[in-house]
Structure 1
């Protein structure tokens, strides 16, 4: 019997050491690995300033509100409420960088992050002071609703970015105003 505690302790030690020597579990970041893709970027004719202006107009035309903006960078926000207890907001980030000198082109980098919130209800009770008894808590009162973030992810749908870049291209100085109308008509027909 006296050997059992030593055997048990040695077994636990061996399991602990085996666990420490195993490589740590790898987080599932398959979708975050760097790969060669043009999903988040597009080269456009003109300067980085004109490319960002086209991106700003494209976002404004879709109901985004400009949060931060300068000549070569935009942060815009759009809010949705698909159900009574669910709130979604999409924050769009755009950076416009000039390409090589003399190329008269710029690359627009864009990504959008979707944050999902749910409504959480909390009720407040009221307390009433009653002379000799003290205070008495009653269950009536107000109910407060607050938004609680339940998810955040980068949108990874190629079609989402393709539609954005098509609209940006339509708003570039090289395209006539009729081209913008065609892209918007195509967008509403889907």
Structure 2
């Protein structure tokens, strides 16, 4: 290669490297500007519903709805409550569902109920420990003998906010069921079959 073309090739390589660096920086900015995982602000309010009752009555309906589904009320205030429910899908897996309801006043005379459910996943993790004993041999020689002992503890291995719309919709429907004025939707109790009274015919005189 001639000495005259060498500076041109070097300049071309530098320009190409600069273009690649600029593209990489732009891609890095795009990746950095990506929204958080699972976060999407849209016109649909998955976690909120309006009710035409005061917040105190709405929160009481939420409490009854959660109690009716097997939840245990952990904390309760006038305008909020927290409830938990545990599951064990496998022998070494423990799941806890935590639901929080917040009731906010909305004019005129209504309220907004916000629901948020967080699912915690726990798993059994074994913790082993060892000890050694000295076995006297000839002279002062000792042989270490390991003795293993273990225990298992529940350790939280995951936590996520529940985003299933059907889950929240069913819970909001149950809250509406316990509001005043809601008709009883339980199936009617079938009345037992009772034979009619016998007809008594009196003889003619």
Q: Could you tell me the TM-score, scaled by structure 2's length? A: 0.70
Residue correspondence of structure 1 range 166-185 to structure 2 within 5 A: 166-176=173-183, 178-179=184-185, 181=186
Q: Which residue of 2 aligns with 1:163?
A: 170
Aligned position for 1:119 = 124
The two structures, once aligned, show a CA RMSD in angstroms of 2.8
Larger helix share, 1 or 2: 1
Partner of 2:44, secondary structure, is coil
149, 152, 156: which is aligned to 2:159? 152
* Count of equivalent residues: 168
CA distance in 2, matches of 1:30, 1:145: 32
Q: What SS is found at the alignment partner of 1:117?
A: strand
Please give the alpha-carbon distance, in whole angstroms, between the structure 1 residues aligned to 2:182 and 2:145.
68
Any gaps of 5 or more consecutive residues in structure 2? 1-9, 188-205
The alpha-carbon distance between structure 1 residues 125 and 158, as it changes in their structure 2 partners (threshold 3 A), is: same
The whole-number CA distance in structure 1 between the counterparts of 2:95 and 2:35 is 24
1:30–1:104 CA distance, 2 compared to 1 (3 A): same
For the 8 Å contact 1:47–1:106, the answer to whether it is kept is yes
The alpha-carbon distance between structure 1 residues 20 and 105, as it changes in their structure 2 partners (threshold 3 A), is same
Larger CA Rg, structure 1 vs 2:
2
Structure 1 runs not aligned, ≥5 long: 1-6, 183-190
2:198 alignment partner in structure 1 = none
In structure 1, which of residues 21, 25, 29 is the aligned counterpart of residue 31 of structure 2? Answer: 25
CA distance in 2 between counterparts of 1:155 and 1:140 reads 41
C-alpha deviation, 1:136, in angstroms: 2.9
2:51 to 36, 40, 44: 44
Asked if 1:104 corresponds to 2:112, the answer is: no
| Cα distance, 1:20–1:39 mapped onto 2, change above 3 Å | closer
Tell me, yes or no, if the aligned pair for 1:75 and 1:91 is still in contact at 8 Å. Answer: yes
Q: In 2, Cα distance between the equivalents of 1:136 and 1:173? A: 74
Secondary structure of the structure 2 residue equivalent to 1:32: coil
1:120-157 CA distances to partner (integer Å, 9 max, x unpaired)? 1222223324564568341432x211223222111111
CA distance in 2, matches of 1:140, 1:87: 26
